[in-house]
Structure 1
Amino acid sequence: MKYFKQFFRRHRGRAVLAALLLLGQVMGTLLIPALIADVVDRGILRGNMDAILRTGVQMLVVAVLASAVAAWGSWVTSDLSALFGREMRSKLLRKSQELSIQQFGAVGVSSMITRSTSDITNLQQTLGMMLQMAVPAPIIVAASTVMTAMVSPVMALIQVGFMAVLLIAAGVVLKKSNALSRSIQVRLDRINRVLREAITGARVIRAFGNEAYEEERSGGAYESYADNMIRLNKLFAVFIPVVWLLMGALIAVVLGIGGALTLGGTMEVGQITAVTEYSTLTMAYLIMAASAMTTLPKARACLDRLQELLDMQSAVADTAAVPAEPVHTAAVVEFDHVTFSYPGAEEPVLRDLSFTMYPGQTTAVIGSTGSGKSTLADLLLRLHDVGDGRIRLGGVDVRQLSQTELRGAIGCVPQKAFLFSGTIADNLRMGRPDASDGELWEALRVAQAEDFVRRLPQGLGAPVSQGGANFSGGQRQRLSIARALVKRADVFLFDDSFSALDVKTDAALRRALRRSVTAPAKLIIAQRVSTILDADQILVLDEGRLAGAGTHSELLEHCPIYRAIAESQMNRKEA
């Protein structure tokens, strides 16, 4: 509930306006039955045309004003609901960027999407319904009961009795639907996960002829969700007719007892009409309130899921401490006895790793699968925090730098070349929005992407589909490299970023990098020895340890692990 409180505190003005409009709507609604009683008793029954016309004009004015106020109130409450949804989605997006990779993976992409769409939409709808239906109900009920009691205490007691029965029935339904609503959102997560895998993995599914299994798996997810929805709808299917039955019974009792009191001379016909209207209003608003409250269990489950995520403390957070004095060094990057283990892992991924990178120097990292190469890159970007040791950028421990400052100094080409929907220019300017077209073309030239981009009819304005699916793997890699080069960073990090390139393009790209990217330090993580032949220093990782460091020729002579890798990829002449 704290997020609702924070929201209404920030938008106190709109909330007060909505409350005043709702109050005006309630006053107009309550005034109509009194005017109806007046026109019946003083006008119709007495044949007084002036009273009929006067009261009729008053009713028309009240009805028009009440309708205008109600329409304005609906607009304000809808605006508040939409604003709440926008702010919650913004919070979720910021939180998703703050969480560590492990935390984000634990939540899951499908669950994150469900929370950002379905959960928040449910909360928006519930907020709107509560403001327009549930909030006026207590005022209407209290005022109607008081005004009925002023006419006939007996009638007021009858109203209270029927209201008590209705509230008990609503309480039972809410209690039973609470657990079902929670499970429904969890099952919706599963549907999103299964659908996402079926869509993104369509090529693999077809290649293995696994369509029948996927249909069965998705069918199980749909069936589980449908079963819970059916059980929830059955509760409401029983509740709604019971409510209408109570409403009809109340009106019948009011008319019956009111008729008897009228015959006895203790009530007037107009008063019976007014009491009937008040009873109808009371039950109608209670029904609307009950309808709004039936959404509360689901909304509560959605809010709990959002709060669970928003209250999650990021494992990687900017420090509030005063930054430490930088160590005076010519090095750009220093790994100082770094050891790192993933949460729950029995063995460290990296063990006592130390090396230094200098401006203009190319450092390459190679090793077998699982040796810790990509983890090393993640630690430099501070996607994880080191366990022991230090990583320094410009002589400052990366944990003493803000994440924005740290990553702003690094141009990263990730292992999976991912492009965003938009245009080529939009993607290239991701790291530096003010880059000129000339700078974009220069980056494309270095990345060996200029030729194919110029062949596109729209050039830099060519559209990019989601994930860059309209480009080949090699084209996506080259565009990702160009995007990093546009940034003008102090350190360039290439995490196995040449794997989709042919040998000729790989060699041309490395030559262009040597000529054009001279001042920044470059860290290349690679699988192929041919990619790192001309590196100033090559680090060989073996099960998280530094098994060797040096140039290509030095490692061939002194490092058996590197020699084995090289010989497995190259013939004797090349080695």
Structure 2
Amino acid sequence: MKYLKLFLKEKKGKVLMTLIMLLGQSIGTLLIPFLIAGIVDNGILKGDINEITRIGIQMLLVLLVTTVAAVLGSYFSADIAAALGFYMRDKIFRKSQELSIHEFDNIGVSSMITRTTSDISNMQQTFGLALQLIVPAPLVIGSSIIMTAYTNETLALILIASIIIFIIFAWIILKKSTIISKRVQSKLDHINQVIREAITGIRVIRAFGNEKYEEGRARSAFEGYATDMVKLNKLFAVLNPIVWLIMGLSMAIIVWLGGVLSMNASMEIGEITAVTEYSIITLSYLILATTTSVTLPKMKSCLDRIEEVLEINPEIKDLKLEKKEVQANNTVVEFDNVSFIYHGAEEEVIKDLSFSCKIGETTAIIGSTGSGKSTIANLILRLHDINRGEIRINGADIRSFSQKELRNKVGYVPQKALLFSGTIEDNLRMGYEDATNEEMKKALTIAQAEAFVDKLPKGIKSEVSQGGSNFSGGQKQRLSIARALVRKVPVYIFDDSFSALDVKTDSALRKSLKENMKDTANIIIAQRVSTIMDADQILVLDEGKLVGVGKHEELMKNCSVYQAIAKSQMNIKEA
């Protein structure tokens, strides 16, 4: 509830205005029975037309004010609910940008999407209804009891007894529904996960003829969710009939007892009418409040799930370390006895790694699967924090930079080329927002992407589908490379980003990089030996350890791991 309280404090002006409108609506609602009693007892029964007219005008004025207050109350309630949705979405989105890869993986993509969409929508909707239907209820109910007691204490006791029975029953229902609501949201996460995998993996599913298995998995997820939803609806289905039963019995007792008191001349007919109206208003507000209250457990569950994310203390933070950015011997990136282990892993994936990358040079990293190649890129970007040692850029520990400042020093091309929906230009400007047309054209040229982009009807203004699905794998890789090259940074990292390129394009791209990127340090992580043969230095990794450093020719002579990789690829070609 912490963030809900912070929101209410931040929007206290609007909250106060909403409460005033709801208060006006409640007071107007309670005044009507009082005025009706006056018309009956002092006007109709006494035949006083002037009194009827006077009270009638008062009723019209009260109705007018009550209507205005109700409309404004509804408007402000909806406005605050919408503001709450925006506030929570903004908070959780910003928080997601702070989380480490490990923390994000712990939550899960499907769960994060559910929390950001469904959970916040449920919370927003329930909050708006709660403002209109639950918040005014205590005031209306309390005032109705007081005004009923003022008229007749015995009838007030009947009303109080009805309210107590009603509240006890509602509390039992709400307590049971809270437990089920928590399960429902978790199962909704699971449904989203199954559907997401089925949609994104549709090609693989069909290629393996695995449709029946996926249907069974989806059915199981749907049935689990449906079972709990049925239980929840059964609880609510029991609630309404019993509520109306309590209301009917209360009304019957009040009317019967009021009739007896009226025959004994202890009550006026108008007073009986007023008490009846107060009872109807009280129980009606209770019904509305309870009907809305059954959604509160779900709202609480949603709020808890949102706050669970917001309360995560990011493991990667900006540290206030002394920063001494001094470039020594043209060294841009330097690893100094770096070791790293993933959370929950038994062994370090990087072990006492030391190397340096200099301006104008290309450093290639190669090794078998799981040797720690891509981890090096993640460590430079500080997507993970190292356990021992130090990584420096221009002589300064990367932890002395803010995360934004650090990542503004690196041009990164991920292992899996990812484009965002929009245009090619939008994707290029993601690399550098203020890039000129000339700079974007140059980046496309170096990345060997200019030829196919120029053939598109709209050039760089051409649309990009979600994930870049309207481009081939090689085209996506070249556009991803161009996006990184638009940035003017001291170091570029290419994480196995030439894998979808044919040999001719691969060779032309590497030649272009060598000719145009003489003022930067380039790190190429690759699987293919042919991609890195002309690198200034090649780092060979094996199980996280550096087992060879040198040029291609040197490593072919003195590094058995590199020899094995090279020979295996040559054998594949010969086959």
* TM-score bucket of the superposed structures, by smaller chain: over 0.9
Q: 1:573 to 1:425 in 2, by over 3 A?
A: closer
Aligned to 2:527: 527
Q: Which region of structure 1 is more displaced relative to structure 2, 401-410 or 96-105?
A: 96-105
Contact conserved, 2:321 with 2:399, CA < 8 A, in 1?
no
CA distance in 2, matches of 1:302, 1:111: 12
Alpha-carbon distance change, 573 to 315 in structure 1, aligned in 2, over 3 angstroms: closer
Aligned equivalent of 2:267:
267
Q: Deviations over 1:479-533 (max 9, x none)?
A: 0000001111111010000000000000111111112222111000001111111
2 CA distance for matches of 1:290 and 1:194? Answer: 34
Letter in 2 for 1:290: T
1:204-215 map, 5 Å? 204-215=204-215
In 1, the alpha carbon distance for the partners of 2:351 and 2:43 equals: 95
Report the CA distance shift for 1:307/1:365 in structure 2 as closer, same or farther (over 3 A): same
For the pair 1:249 / 2:249, whether they are aligned, the reply is yes
Q: Deviations over 1:65-115 (max 9, x none)?
A: 111111111111111111111111111111211111111111111100111
Secondary structure of the corresponding residue to residue 519 of structure 1: coil
Q: Distance in 1 between matches of 2:292 and 2:265?
A: 41
Match of 1:376 in 2: 376
Q: Paired residue for 2:7?
A: 7
- Which range is displaced more, 396-405 or 228-237? 396-405
- Which string of whole-angstrom CA distances, capped at 9 and with x for unpartnered residues, describes residues 209-231 of structure 1? 11111111100000000000000
Q: More deviation in 496-505 or 310-319?
A: 310-319
Aligned residue number for residue 64 of structure 1: 64
AA aligned opposite 1:198? A
Q: Do 2:40 and 2:270's aligned partners in 1 also have CA atoms closer than 8 Å?
A: yes
Q: Which amino acid aligns with 2:345?
A: A
Partner of 1:34: 34
Partner of 1:297: 297
Establish whether residue 233 from structure 1 lines up as the match of residue 217 from structure 2: no
Residues 107-158 of structure 1: CA deviation (Å, up to 9, x unaligned) = 1111001111111111112211211111100100111111111110111111
Map of 2:322 onto structure 1? 323
**Secondary structure at 2:266's aligned position in 1?**
coil
Q: Counterpart of 2:295 in structure 1: which amino acid?
A: T
**Residue 22 of structure 1: CA displacement?**
1.0
2:283 pairs with 1:312: no
Partner Cα distance (2:281, 2:551) in 1: 87
Aligned partners of 1:159 and 1:323: how far apart in 2? 71
| Structure 1 match to 2:169 | 169
On the 8 A contact 1:323/1:401 being kept in 2, the answer is: no
Which structure 2 residues correspond to residues 37-436 of structure 1 after superposition, within 5 A? 37-319=37-319, 321-326=320-325, 329=328, 330-436=330-436
Q: State the distance in 2 between where 1:29 and 1:431 align.
A: 60
Q: Residues 104 and 125 (structure 1 numbering): CA distance in 2 closer, same or farther, change over 3 Å? A: same
- How many angstroms apart in 2 are the aligned matches of 1:84 and 1:291? 22
* Residues 1:419 and 1:241: Cα distance change in structure 2 (over 3 Å): same
TM superposition shift of 1:171: 0.7
Matched, 1:442 2:442: yes
Task: Determine the C-alpha separation between the residues in 1 that align with 2:47 and 2:422.
Answer: 74
Please tell me whether the aligned partners of residues 323 and 401 of structure 2 are also in contact (alpha carbons under 8 angstroms): no
Distance 2:469 2:497 in 1: 17
CA distance in 2, matches of 1:328, 1:408: 17
Equivalent position amino acid for 1:20 in 2: I
CA distance in 2, matches of 1:539, 1:187: 46
SS of match in other structure, 1:429: helix
Partner of 1:500: 500
Tell me which amino acid in the other structure corresponds to 2:195: L
SS of match in other structure, 1:225:
helix
Q: TM-score, normalised by structure 1?
A: 0.98
What is the identity, as a one-letter code, of the residue corresponding to 1:228?
Answer: D
Per the alignment, residue 538 of structure 2 pairs with: 538
| Structure 1 unpaired stretches of 5+ | none
1:464 corresponds to which letter in structure 2?
V
SS at match of 1:185: helix
- Please, what is the CA RMSD of the aligned residues? 1.4
Q: CA deviation at 1:328?
A: 5.3
Question: Would the alpha carbon gap of residues 573 and 86 (structure 1) be closer, same or farther in structure 2, given more than 3 Å must change?
Answer: closer
In structure 2, distance between residues paired with 1:130 and 1:359:
62
- Give 1:570 deviation, angstroms: 3.4
Give the match's secondary structure for 1:524.
Answer: strand
Q: What's the secondary structure of 1:513's corresponding residue?
A: helix
- Give the Å deviation of 1:327: 5.5
How far apart are 1:47 and its partner, in Å? 2.0
Deviations 1:448-472 (A, max 9, x none): 1111111111111111111111111
| 1:442, distance to aligned residue in structure 2 (A) | 1.4
AA of the residue aligned to 2:250? L
1:291 aligns to what SS in structure 2?
helix
2:97 counterpart letter in structure 1: Q
- Give the Cα separation in 2 of the matches to 1:277 and 1:541: 83
SS state at 2:385 partner: coil
Secondary structure of residue in 2 paired with 1:539: strand
Deviation for aligned residue 1:569 = 2.2
What's 2:518 paired with?
A: 518
Of 381-390 and 247-256, deviating more is 247-256
Structure-1 separation of matches of 2:152 and 2:103:
63
CA deviation vs aligned residue, 1:393-417 (integer Å, no higher than 9, x gap): 1111111211000001101000010
Q: 1:573 to 1:204 in 2, by over 3 A?
A: closer
Report the secondary structure of 1:332's partner residue. strand
Question: 1:28-69 CA distances to partner (integer Å, 9 max, x unpaired)?
Answer: 111111111111112222222222222222211211211111
Q: 1:433 to 1:334 in 2, by over 3 A?
A: same
Distance of aligned partners of 1:540 and 1:442 in 2 relative to their CA distance in 1, 3 Å threshold: same
Note if 1:467 corresponds to 2:462: no
Partner Cα separation in structure 2 for residue 58 and residue 529 of structure 1: 92
Q: Note the alpha carbon deviations across 1:370-401, whole angstroms, 9 max, x for none.
A: 11000111101101001110001111111121
Retained in 1: the 8 A contact 2:325–2:393?
Answer: no
SS of alignment partner, residue 331 of structure 2? coil
Aligned-partner Cα distance in 2 for 1:449–1:214? 38
| CA distance in 1: counterparts of 2:504 and 2:20, whole angstroms | 73
Q: Distance in 2 between matches of 1:543 and 1:573?
A: 26
Return the offset for 1:248: 1.4
Alpha-carbon distance change, 114 to 455 in structure 1, aligned in 2, over 3 angstroms: same
Mapped contact 1:338–1:386 kept (Cα < 8 A): yes
Output the CA distance in 2 between the equivalents of 1:202 and 1:343: 31
Identity %: 56
The one-letter amino acid paired with 1:65 is V
Q: Deviations over 1:198-248 (max 9, x none)?
A: 000111111111111111110000000000000010000001110111111
Conserved in 1, the CA contact under 8 Å of 2:37 and 2:270? yes
Alpha-carbon shift at residue 323 of structure 1 (Å): 2.4
Instruction: State how far apart, in whole Å, the 2-side matches of 1:324 and 1:430 are.
Output: 27
Q: 1:537: Cα distance to partner?
A: 0.7
Q: Which moved more, 1:231-240 or 1:55-64?
A: 55-64
Q: Which amino acid aligns with 2:400?
A: Q
Counterpart-to-counterpart distance in 2, 1:571 and 1:158:
93
